[in-house]
Amino acid sequence: MYPKIHIFDSDIPTYSTCAIVGFTVSILLLNYLLLERLILRKYIGAYLISSVGLLIGAKCFGFLSKLLGIYAFTGLWEWKESFLTSGIVYYGGLFGYLGMLKILCCFKGRNFNEISNITAIIIPLFHVFGRIGCFFAGCCYGTQSNSWIAIPYRVISQDEQWVNRIPIQLMESAIELFLFMLCYYWYREKRKKEQEYDSRILSYYLLLYSMWRFIIEFWRGDEVRGVFGWISFSQIISILIFIIYIKNIFSKWRKS
C-alpha cells in the first residue's frame, strides 16, 4: 500500500521501519523486565542471539508453505521457485525464536521457565508493529469485501487497483496488542504471588493466538501463505498448537 516513506530525498521501507521500531520497543521493555528481576546479564545475550533463529524459522516456514501450496495446485515439487519466491511466516519466526532461546538456555545451564513469562510479553508486542508494517507493505492482505469494516487498499506487489479489503493486518495488530496487555497483567499478578517460574503465560498466549489465527485466516486474500482446499498452512499449524497446548494445560491441571 505504502511500501516506502520518502524522507530527505530517500525512500525508506515502511516494513523495515516498523520492524526496527518494534524491535527497539520490545528490547527496551525486555531490559526493564530482566533488570527488575536482576537477571539482565544472565539472559540478554540469549535473547539477542535467538533473533537468528527467528529469521531462519520464518524463512523455512515460508519456503515450506510455498512448496506445499504449489504442489497442492500443480502436483509438482518446485523447490527452487518455492525458495526464491517464498516470504516469511510468523509461526516459523515464533518457533525458531523460542527453539533457539530454549537451546541456548540448555547450553548455558539456564532455566527457560525463569524467562518464559517475560518472553510471552515480548512476542505479541513485537508482532503489533510487524503487522502494521505488513499493512503498509501490501502483504498479508485481506479478501475483497463491501462490508463496513473494509477499507480501500491496493496490493503493491500485484499492481492492483484500489479495492475494498478487510484490513486483517490492523485487526491482528489490535488483537496482539490486547494479548500483550493481557500477558503483562498476568505477569504482574504472578509477580505479586512470586510465581515468576510458572510458564503457563506462554502456553496461554500460544493457545489464544492459535485460536485467533485459525479464524482470521478465512479472511486472508493472499495466496503466498499456502492454501490446501479450504484450509491454509497457518491454520494447520494453529490446529496442532491448539491440540498440543490443550493437552498440556489439562495435564498440568490434573497434576495440581
- HSE on the CB side for 165, CA within 13 Å? 24
- Mean predicted lDDT score pLDDT of the chain: 86
Number of domains observed in the structure of the chain: 1
Each residue's pLDDT tens digit, 12-31: 778 888 999 999 999 999 99
Q: For residue 111, what pLDDT is reported?
A: 87
Which residues, at least 6 apart from 227, have a Cβ–Cβ distance to it below 8 Å?
Answer: 69, 72, 233
Q: For residue 224, what pLDDT is reported?
A: 64
Tell me the residue range of the domain where 40 lies. Answer: 4-255
Question: Taking the model in full, what pTM does it have?
Answer: 0.88
Q: For residue 129, what pLDDT is reported?
A: 95
Per-residue pLDDT of the chain (256 residues; tens, 9 = 90+): 666 766 666 677 788 889 999 999 999 999 999 999 899 999 999 999 999 999 999 999 888 888 887 777 777 888 888 888 787 889 999 999 999 999 999 998 888 988 999 999 999 999 999 999 988 888 888 888 888 888 888 776 656 678 889 999 999 999 999 999 999 999 998 888 776 667 789 989 999 999 999 999 999 887 666 667 778 888 999 999 988 877 877 776 777 6
**DSSP string across the chain:** ---EEEETTEEEEHHHHHHHHHHHHHHHHHHHHHHHTT-HHHHHHHHHHHHHHHHHHHHHHHHHHHHHHHHHHHS---HHHHHHH----HHHHHHHHHHHHHHHHHHTT--THHHHHHHHHHHHHHHHHHHHHHHHHT-S-B-B--STT-EEE--GGGTPPPEEE--HHHHHHHHHHHHHHHHHHHHHHHHHTT-TT--HHHHHHHHHHHHHHHHHGGGB--STT-EETTEEHHHHHHHHHHHHHHHHHHHHHHH-
Q: For residue 3, what pLDDT is reported?
A: 67
